[in-house]
Amino acid sequence: MTLTICVINGKGGCGKSTVSTHLAAGLASSGLQTALMDRDRLRGATRWHKLRPKSAARVNLVRWKNDFEDIPVGTQRIVIDCPASLRQSRVRELVAESDILVVPILPSVFDEHATKLFLEKLSAIKKVRNGRKSILVVSNRHRARSLASQRLDEHLRSLGHEPFARISDRSVYPQLAAEGLTVFDRQTSAMRELQEEWMPLIEEIETSIRLAA
C-alpha cells in the first residue's frame, strides 16, 4: 500500500526540504520503501538526494512528470516536497490526493501570519475541509526558551493546531544536508536525541496511516 505525505507551506524558507528529507530518511531507516518527490522549483531535495551516500538508508528520488508514473514498484511511502504556493492547480490536486499534510512553521511573526492564511486556504480544499486528511504542524528551528517559540506555540494552539514535533534549531542540520544526510543517518547519542524530536511526528504519521487503512 502506497501512502503519500505532502510537506507544504505557502511561506518559503520554513524548512520544507529539511522536513521532507528527514521524513523520507526516517521512514526509510525504519525499513519502509520510501520515495521522495521534489516539486519545489528550487530542487533542494533533488540536490540532497544527489549527495546522499549509497551506504545511507535508501530513498528513491521520484522525478516529476505529469503523474505518479515514475514511482518504483513496491514503494510504501512517498514524501512530497511541495512548492511554497497553492496557486498551481496540480499542487492543489497533490494536496487533495495526499494522505497526510505536514506543515512546517518557523517561530516568527511573519511565518505565523502566513501560516494562518495558508491553513485557511488548505481548509478550502474539499477533502481537507471534510476532515479526511490529517494536518500535522511542525515547529521548526524551535528554541524552547525563546519568546518567539513560546508565542508560536500559543498561536498554533489558538488555531487548533498543536505542533506534533518541535525541531531544535541546530547547526548540524545544514551540515548533514551538505552530505546528503539527515540526523537519522548517524547513530550517535547526540543524533539519537535529535531523532527523538522527530519521532512524535513520524509516529503520528504511521498511526494515522494505519487507522486510515
Partner 1 sequence: MIETEIRFAVPDGMDSSVTQHYFAAIPGPGEYNRTTYFDTSDNALWNNGIEFRVRTNGMKHKQTVKTRIAGTSSFMRNEFEKEIESEQPDLTHLHSVLPPELRSAVYPAQFRPAFRTEIRRRKRIVEKDGNTIEAVHDRGWIVAGRTSTEIDEVEHELQQGGSQWLTDACLSFLDAVPCGLQTEGKAARGFRLATGANPVPAMAENVFVPSTAPLPEAIVAMMRAAYAQVLANQSALLLTGDIEAVHQMRVGLRRLRSVLSAFAPVLDLSGAPDLLSETKALFARLGDVREADVFVSETIAAIPETALDARRRQILDREVHRYRDRAYADVANYVNGPRFGRFAVRLNGWIESGNWLRNAAPVDRLLRTRPVADFAASRLSEMERKLIKRGRRALKGTIDDWHEARIAAKKVRYAGEPLAMVMSPVSAGRGKPKFTKGLARLQDELGVFNDFSNVPAFLARVRETVPKNALGGFGEAAAFCAGWSTAEVGHAVHRLEKSWKKFEDEKGVLQS
- Which residues would be at the binding site for partner 1 (CB under 8 A)? 1, 26-27, 29-33, 73-74, 76, 184, 187, 192, 195-196, 198-199, 202-203, 206-207, 210
Smallest gap, in angstroms, from Cβ of residue 16 to partner 1? 21
Cβ of residue 32: shortest distance to partner 1, in angstroms?
Answer: 7
Q: Which is nearer to partner 1, 30 or 175 (CB)?
A: 30
Report phi then psi at 19, rounded to 5. -65, -45
Instruction: Name, in order, each residue with C-beta under 8 angstroms of 137's C-beta and a sequence gap of 6 or more.
Output: 102, 103, 104, 105, 115, 156, 161, 162, 163, 164
SS3 43: coil
**6 within 8 A of 95, measured Cβ to Cβ:** yes
Q: For partner 1, give the closer residue by CB, 60 or 98.
A: 60
> Between 38 and 197, whose beta carbon lies closer to partner 1?
197
Parallel/antiparallel/unpaired status of strands 59-62 and 165-168:
unpaired
Which residue, 27 or 94, is less far from partner 1 as judged by CB?
A: 27
Residue with Cβ nearer partner 1 (6 or 205) = 205
Residue 60 has which C-alpha cell?
Answer: 528513491
Smallest separation (angstroms) from partner 1 to the CB of 72: 10
**One-letter amino acid of 97:** E
Three-class DSSP category at 129: helix
Count of C-beta atoms within a 10 Å radius of residue 160: 9
The DSSP bridge partners found for residue 5 are 79, 100
Q: How far is the CB of 209 from partner 1 (least distance, A)?
A: 9
Shortest distance in whole angstroms from residue 38 CB to partner 1: 22
Give the DSSP H or E segment for 94: helix 89-97
Which CB, 7 or 202, lies closer to partner 1?
A: 202
Q: Give me the least distance between CB of 126 and partner 1, in Å please.
A: 29
- For residue 62, give the amino acid letter: V
